Amino acid sequence: MKSSNRHVLPGFSLTLGYTMLYLGLLTMVPLAACFGKAFSLSLADFWAAVWTPRTLAAYRFSLSVSLISSLASIVLGFVIAWVLVRYEFPGKRIFDALVDLPFALPTAVAGLVYSGLYVENGWLGQFLVPLGIKAAYSRLAVVLVLTFLGIPFVVRTLQPVLESMEDDKEEAAYLLGASRFQTFWRVIIPTLVPALITGFALSLARGLGEYGSVVFVSGNMPFKTEIAPVLIVARLEQFAYAEATAIAVVLLVISFALLLAINLLEAWSRRFYA
């Protein structure tokens, strides 16, 4: 059917050609420029740009905050998806719609408002600061705003899987004498593993590259709360293009490698649990 489409339906070469041209010009050429610029550096210069105490601290901070916030997104996103699919409560549809807000809200707005919420006289800070939780301009602030951004990825990948989950598996488990807890860990969770991995990957990728919101809330202290993208901007503002590009290439390689690893993991888990 599909293979005969090419003889029946028009526009194959036109649309494919345009797609490749547009994709090539807008993404491939810039990527090539980035790697080209990085390769124009000598190995020693490249190393000197990407392996300094300040860049190492930035990679470590970027990785740790995005890992922690992706884990938090997984846990909270799972609870939200579970509640939205399985329970009924007043206002459920509004809560369901609100989950998507972080997708639609510009990150600069998220950063701006989060930067004010947790200071001593902020809406949430006035309760938290007396408890000794100083979230403003710290690692915690970055984790909170990245969790805000990550939750919808997890909820929206889990929700369809939870909805389509067959009841009879759980019933069979119950009739065979499994406790609710055993059913949860042995029947429900394994079915969700591929979706959980996807959600984790999406929020991690988003967290690693995020700039707009973090720049408002982190305080951007070198060696302490500086993320890798902020470092790239700092290098650019000193017109140190080669150094900025070198760090960008490291960031690109990390996110491509993560994406590849997670795609493989996902494919494996789909086969394993299928």
Partner 1 sequence: MHKPASNLTTTKALAARAETARKAAHGAAHRDPIWVRWGLTFLATGTIGLLIVVPVVNVFWQAFGDGVESYWNNLVRDPDTLHSILLTLIVAPVAVVANLVFGVAAAWAISRFRFPGRSLLTALLDLPFSVSPVVAGLMLVLLFGMQGYFGPWLRDHGVKIIFSTPGLILATSFVTLPFVARELIPVMEAIGSEEEVAAVSLGASGWQMFWRVTLPNIKWGLLYGVILCNARAMGEFGAVYVVSGHIAGRTDTMPLRVEKLFQEYNNPGSFAVASLLTLLALVTLVIKVVLEHKTRADLEEAARLNAAPAEAT
In Å, how far are 62, 204, 206, 267 from 68, measured between CA atoms?
Answer: 10, 9, 13, 24
What residues contact 114, with CB distance under 8 A and at least 6 apart? Answer: 141, 144, 145, 148, 213, 216, 217
Find the binder of partner 1 among 31, 48, 221, 264 (CB under 8 A). 31
264 binds partner 1 (CB under 8 A): no
74 binds partner 1 (CB under 8 A): no
What residues contact 143, with CB distance under 8 A and at least 6 apart? Answer: 65, 68, 69, 72
Find the binder of partner 1 among 68, 134, 139, 211 (CB under 8 A). 211
Cβ closest to partner 1, residue 56 vs residue 233: 233
In angstroms, what is the minimal distance from the CB of 272 to partner 1?
21
Q: Among residue numbers 33 through 72, which ones bind partner 1 (CB under 8 A)?
A: 33-34, 36-37
Distance of CA 45 to the CA centre of its chain: 31
Cα three-residue angle 242-31-237, rounded to 5 degrees:
35
Cβ closest to partner 1, residue 193 vs residue 236: 236
248 binds partner 1 (CB under 8 A): yes
267 binds partner 1 (CB under 8 A): no
**Residue 121: CA atoms inside 13 Å, Cβ hemisphere, count?**
0
What interhelical angle do 189-209 and 53-86 show, nearest 10?
140
109 binds partner 1 (CB under 8 A): yes
Rounded Cα–Cα distance for residues 274 and 269 (Å): 8
Q: Interacting stretch for partner 1, rule CB under 8 A, among 49-57, 63-71, 192-200, 204-212?
A: 204-212
174 binds partner 1 (CB under 8 A): yes
In angstroms, what is the minimal distance from the CB of 253 to partner 1?
11
Rounded Cα–Cα distance for residues 146 and 36 (Å): 32
131 binds partner 1 (CB under 8 A): no
Q: Among residue numbers 184 through 203, which ones bind partner 1 (CB under 8 A)?
A: none
In angstroms, what is the minimal distance from the CB of 193 to partner 1?
20
Q: How many residues bind partner 1 (CB under 8 A)?
A: 94
Rounded Cα–Cα distance for residues 47 and 133 (Å): 39
85 binds partner 1 (CB under 8 A): no
In angstroms, what is the minimal distance from the CB of 274 to partner 1?
19
259 binds partner 1 (CB under 8 A): yes
Q: Interacting stretch for partner 1, rule CB under 8 A, among 156-164, 189-197, 242-250, 264-272?
A: 242-250
Cβ atoms of 203 and 70 closer than 8 Å: yes
